[in-house]
A and B are shown apart, each in its own frame.
Chain A
């Protein structure tokens, strides 16, 4: 299986097609609903973001608490469509990849195509298994959000499926309703 590493290069991503399976290693940041709202508010107010968005990978994930002896608890993807309202602005500001589950809006798809970003699917509802691919988890920012805080993850061979490739092709389009 194809292996990819962060920081992701535009050139490398352009070779991936919707439906391809890859193993990702490197640094990714968890962020979901409330963290997205804050990140976008910061961009709109021209404030400094907590991490360098350019080239970054965001994982739509809110892990459980970490049991003793493990790097992280259960940590599967959450529903991506809830981040539809925020993703285009983040992509425009340099976000390179998103990891989640389910479909994304046309606007997100268009932003991915325009800025040559990518959207990956992680195994939905398989948080226990995915926990094994996380080597290190460091609380990063927005701790007051609890499970919605941003956590920096060091992942190794994290299994993904390309959901929307850099050309804007979606793995779901062929079977999308209506």
Chain B
């Protein structure tokens, strides 16, 4: 049994909040550069360059990439051989407060969704999973609400064709239009229950962006099946192509760079249903992880 102290978790979360908000993920930066190399629309090229310059500026000046430093979403994968000494959720939320304060990030969280009130830094939305092993993996994804507001969920009939699902995803991106800071990264969750599809869509944003859209080996049972993996990979490619033909482009001012990636995560579902959830990220897709 490995023991991890709450204070270590608090410190790690604080560091991750700062890192995620200030240093753009290398895979996202690389995807932006690939998009710039491909893009032919003059204004889109200029705007992609501004976005890349902004990432460099943020890093050089230790400034948040975007002023919307989001609602922090924290994923914890706790190894079953790990013992946490202290209050885990409290440690995470204290870590968020420490990190947001020291990084001069934004206090965007209102204590009550209806009463609102003066905003603060915490709490985070925390997802805890127990996994085999002796490690604790922490991922912090600060999610801006310009893009979070464009999330969608649809409970399809189980007999629906794939074309209908594609149409739903493409229309969701079209309706987000210029508002959510394109070029986007589209997270899609298919299967499970309504809530689980939404979680999968969010988790899809943690996946590394790759040049050829190659999927990492997913750990869910459905993706372990060859046919399912091939189908989702094909869907990702087709959707990315269709989305990039919408001519939304960076800042919605045209061009073929509307999305940098489409990531689909799947899970088994019920005979009576087919939930599909969409979580859009702006071009400043921020996250950072550590294994304790």
- A70-B61, A175-B254 known; A78 vs B68 contact (CB < 8 Å): yes
Asked if residues B177 and A177 are in contact (CB atoms below 8 Å), the reply is yes
Q: Contacting A101 at CB < 8 Å: which of B69, B174, B179, B254?
A: B179
Q: Contacting A65 at CB < 8 Å: which of B104, B116, B254?
A: B104
Q: Chain A contacts of B146 at CB under 8 A?
A: 78-79, 101, 124
Least CB distance, A111 to chain B, in whole angstroms: 19
Closest partner residue, chain B, to A67 (CB atom):
B104
Q: Chain B contacts of A126 at CB under 8 A?
A: 50-51, 53-54, 66
Least CB distance, B72 to chain A, in whole angstroms: 14
Q: Chain A contacts of B55 at CB under 8 A?
A: 128
Q: Chain A contacts of B136 at CB under 8 A?
A: none
Asked if residues A146 and B118 are in contact (CB atoms below 8 Å), the reply is yes
A34 within 8 A of B: yes
Asked if residues B116 and A34 are in contact (CB atoms below 8 Å), the reply is yes
Asked if residues B251 and A145 are in contact (CB atoms below 8 Å), the reply is no
Q: Chain A contacts of B175 at CB under 8 A?
A: 177
Q: Total interface residues on A, using CB and 8 Å?
A: 42
Q: Which residues of A67-96 are within 8 A (CB) of B?
A: 67, 70, 73-76, 78-81
User: Among the listed stretches B105-113, B195-203, B234-242, which one makes contact with chain A, having 4 or more residues with CB under 8 Å of it?
Assistant: B105-113
A118 within 8 A of B: no
Asked if residues B63 and A74 are in contact (CB atoms below 8 Å), the reply is yes
Max count, chain A CB within 10 A of own CB: residue among B47, B58, B62, B146 = B146
Asked if residues B174 and A103 are in contact (CB atoms below 8 Å), the reply is no
Closest partner residue, chain A, to B182 (CB atom):
A124
Q: Which residues of A126-151 are within 8 A (CB) of B?
A: 126-129, 131-132, 144-148
A78 vs B108: C-alpha distance in the bound complex, in angstroms? 13
B245 within 8 A of A: no
B35 within 8 A of A: no
Q: Is the interface of B mostly helix, strand, loop or mixed?
A: loop
Asked if residues A66 and B104 are in contact (CB atoms below 8 Å), the reply is yes
Q: Contacting B252 at CB < 8 Å: which of A67, A102, A128, A131?
A: A102
Q: Contacting B57 at CB < 8 Å: which of A19, A79, A128, A176?
A: A128
Q: Chain B contacts of A102 at CB under 8 A?
A: 177-180, 252
Asked if residues A64 and B179 are in contact (CB atoms below 8 Å), the reply is no
Closest partner residue, chain A, to B249 (CB atom):
A175
- A64-B69, A102-B252 known; A123 vs B179 contact (CB < 8 Å): no
A177 vs B248: C-alpha distance in the bound complex, in angstroms? 10
- A101-B251, A177-B175 known; A125 vs B181 contact (CB < 8 Å): yes
A73 vs B47: C-alpha distance in the bound complex, in angstroms? 21
B143 within 8 A of A: no
Asked if residues A103 and B51 are in contact (CB atoms below 8 Å), the reply is no
* Residues 22-38 of chain A, each 1 if its beta carbon lies under 8 Å from chain B, else 0: 00000000000010000
Q: Chain B contacts of A74 at CB under 8 A?
A: 58, 63-67, 69, 106
Least CB distance, A126 to chain B, in whole angstroms: 4
- A65-B104, A74-B66 known; A121 vs B118 contact (CB < 8 Å): no
Asked if residues A101 and B178 are in contact (CB atoms below 8 Å), the reply is yes
A129 vs B49: C-alpha distance in the bound complex, in angstroms? 12
A161 within 8 A of B: yes
* Residues 150-178 of chain A, each 1 if its beta carbon lies under 8 Å from chain B, else 0: 00000000000100000000011001110
Asked if residues B178 and A64 are in contact (CB atoms below 8 Å), the reply is no
Closest partner residue, chain A, to B105 (CB atom):
A64
Asked if residues A161 and B179 are in contact (CB atoms below 8 Å), the reply is no
Asked if residues A125 and B174 are in contact (CB atoms below 8 Å), the reply is no
User: Can you give 30 contacting A-B residue pairs, CB < 8 Å?
Assistant: A62-B67, A65-B101, A67-B62, A67-B104, A70-B63, A73-B64, A74-B106, A76-B68, A79-B149, A101-B178, A101-B251, A102-B180, A103-B252, A123-B50, A124-B251, A124-B282, A125-B66, A125-B283, A127-B63, A128-B63, A129-B53, A131-B61, A132-B57, A145-B118, A146-B118, A146-B119, A147-B107, A148-B119, A172-B178, A177-B175
Q: Which 6 A-B pairs have the closest CB atoms?
A: A102-B179, A128-B58, A126-B54, A74-B64, A127-B67, A65-B104
With A74-B58, A123-B50, A176-B177 known, 17 other A-B pairs at CB within 8 A are: A62-B68, A62-B106, A63-B106, A75-B67, A78-B146, A79-B146, A80-B179, A81-B179, A101-B146, A102-B179, A103-B252, A126-B51, A128-B66, A129-B58, A145-B118, A146-B118, A171-B253
